[in-house]
Amino acid sequence: METRFQTTSFIPKAPLDNVVDDHGKIQRASGSSTAGTSSFFILISFFLFICSIVSAGIIFSLNKFTISQKKSANDSLVNSQKNINTDTIEELKSLNSRLGLIQSLLKKHVAVSAVFNELGKNTITQVSFSSFDLKRKTDNTFALVLKAQGVGYESIVAQDSQLSTGPAQKFFKNTSITDFVKSKGQDLTSFGITTSVSSGAINFAEIIKNTTK
C-alpha cells in the first residue's frame, strides 16, 4: 500500500505589510513610512494652495482698492479744478465789471482844477470873477459862464482879447463878452463871459494820460 504525505505550503498567507523579526516582533514594512511621508507632503501642498488663493484674493482686493482710490483722487482733482476755474472766472468777471465802472467814471470825471488854472493864467489884474458855472453840452463840450467885474471898459476889452487870442484859445473856444453894466459914479463895470471848453482839455483821464507821456 502506497503511503501519501500531505505537503504544506511554506508561502506566507499573511499580508506582507507586516514582517516578524528574529525575536517574534512585528515590524511594519517600509511602504507605510513612505505613505506617511506622502500624506505630509500632500498636506503641505494643500496648505500652500490655500495660502496662494488667499494671497491672490488679498492682492486682487488691494488692486481694486487702489484703483478705487485713484479714481476718487482723480475725481476730487477734477472737481477742485472746476471749482477753481469757476471761482477764478467769477472773480475775473467781477474785476472786469469794476474796472469798466472805474473807466466810465474816469471818462465822465471833470478836472475843474484845470479850468481854474487856465483862468488864473489868463485873467488880467483889473478883472475879478463873482460867479462860475460849468455845464456839459450835448456835443460833449462844456459851456463856461462867468460873471466878472473890471475897472473901466478898457479892462473888459483887454480881458476879451486875452481869452480870444494866443495860447488861451487852445483851452477856451468861442469866447464872447455880454451884459455890460456900469454903475454911475463908479469905475467898476460888471459883465459876463461865455466860452466853451473841450472835454479833452478838462477830462481827468486825458489829463493823466498827457502828464504820463
153-185 residues labelled b (16+ CB within 10 A) or e (exposed):
eebbeebbebbbeeebeebbbebebeeeeeeee
CB 103 within 8 A of CB 208: no
- Specify the pLDDT at position 194: 92
> Highest-confidence range of 65-79, 87-101, 108-122, by mean pLDDT?
108-122
User: What CATH number does the domain containing 144 carry?
Assistant: 3.30.1360.100
Q: Which of 108, 123, 146 is the last residue of a domain?
A: 108
- Specify the pLDDT at position 193: 93
Q: Specify if 2 maps to a domain.
A: no
Question: Are 91 and 177 in a shared domain?
Answer: no
CB 189 within 8 A of CB 180: yes
pLDDT at residue 29 greater than cutoff 70: no
DSSP-derived pairing of the beta strands 142-151 and 188-197: antiparallel
Question: Are 205 and 126 in a shared domain?
Answer: yes
Q: Specify if 22 maps to a domain.
A: no
pLDDT at residue 82 greater than cutoff 50: yes
Question: Are 143 and 206 in a shared domain?
Answer: yes
Q: Specify if 192 maps to a domain.
A: yes
Question: Are 121 and 204 in a shared domain?
Answer: yes
Question: Are 120 and 192 in a shared domain?
Answer: yes
**Total number of domains constituting the chain:** 2
Question: Are 116 and 104 in a shared domain?
Answer: no
Report pTM.
0.49
Environment class of residue 190 by beta-carbon count within 10 Å: exposed (0-12), middle (13-18) or buried (19+)? middle
d(CA 118, CA 128): 14
Q: Which of 108, 126, 153 is the last residue of a domain?
A: 108
pLDDT tens column, 109-137: 777 888 888 888 999 999 999 999 988 88
Q: Specify if 49 maps to a domain.
A: yes
- Specify the pLDDT at position 210: 63
Question: Are 133 and 197 in a shared domain?
Answer: yes
- Specify the pLDDT at position 83: 65
Question: Are 150 and 179 in a shared domain?
Answer: yes
Q: Specify if 61 maps to a domain.
A: yes
pLDDT at residue 81 greater than cutoff 80: no
CA-based R_g, the chain, Å: 60
pLDDT at residue 19 greater than cutoff 70: no
Domain interval for residue 85: 34-108
Q: Which of 44, 75, 108 is the last residue of a domain?
A: 108
Task: Name residue 120's beta-bridge partners.
Answer: none
Question: Are 73 and 101 in a shared domain?
Answer: yes
pLDDT tens column, 141-189: 889 999 999 988 888 899 999 998 888 888 898 899 888 888 777 788 8
